[in-house]
Amino acid sequence: MKILVPIKRVPDPDTKIRLQPDGAGVASDGVKFSLNPFDAIALEEALRLEEKLGEMDLVVVSVGGEETIETLRVGLAMGAKRALLIKTSADLDSLAVAKILAAVYQREQPDFVLMGKQAIDDDSNQVGQMLAALLGIGQATFVSKLELVEQHTQARCARETDAGLETLTVKLPAIITADLRLNEPRYVSLPGIMKAKKKPLEELELAALGVTAVSRTKILKYETPPQRQAGVRVKTVDELVDKLKNEAKAI
């Protein structure tokens, strides 16, 4: 069985984000980058399936510049068999990334794609859905429990919805996107890091995939949210009600 796991290099969630002075983007100097947490969850789930069902071809793929190799090595150190870097220095929107991943899917022909439900840098929550639409295959998003059934031809997925927990089956191949509660990813071990150095990492130019990456959307400006006011402690409920009424004018 082959599972394709797209992974993205994002600013580390513990890093304090600073913007470029002109608001054109996030300042990257001195910023620590890491593997997108939802992608780590997706890869962890693929590794658990391999532990349960036997050896698999687990392929991590990333779209980005040379610096992305570091992230792919983390994926290999976690346990992926091989890595694929689709090289580009362009700033890509969700649709452009989905088109590139669709071309990777056609090349690799995996049994299914397991990916994060969103990347924590742009929080778009679109690539998985767009990829399924481009490929014309099924999708199960926000998955918090995954099981392969019917001789591994279908995936039974539990997913959180506004109405509660929904369980559905989706025919494979399909796109499955991981929610936070799917699992807790393993730490990368030192032997894993050593082994990762010898695992295959292929670099491909976009042209070799036969796709051009053109973003249809353009981010005009980034702004930091307004500074939060310091909170106040009140001694009584009456005082709280008074403040809500007369200061916050919330009631």
Q: Give the footprint of ligand FAD on this chain (CB under 6 A).
A: 142, 160-162
**Position closest to ligand FAD via CB:** 160
CB of 92 to ligand FAD, least distance (A): 23
Residue 200: both structure tokens together: 């295959």
CB of 96 to ligand FAD, least distance (A): 22
Helices (H), the chain: 37-53, 68-78, 94-108, 127-135, 190-196, 206-209, 237-242
Query: DSSP per residue over 24-55, as a string?
Result: SSB--TT--EEE-HHHHHHHHHHHHHHHHH--
We find the least distance from the C-beta atom of residue 126 to ligand FAD, in angstroms, to be: 11
What is the C-alpha separation between 251 and 240, in angstroms, rounded? 11
**Which of 112/142 has CB closer to ligand FAD?**
142
188/233 Cα distance (integer angstroms): 43
By C-beta, is 180 or 201 nearer to ligand FAD?
180
Shortest reach from residue 160's CB to ligand FAD, in Å: 4
Q: Residue 62 or 141: which CB sits closer to ligand FAD?
A: 141
Closest to ligand FAD by CB, 161 or 224: 161
Instruction: Round the CA-based radius of gyration of the chain to a whole number and report it.
Output: 21
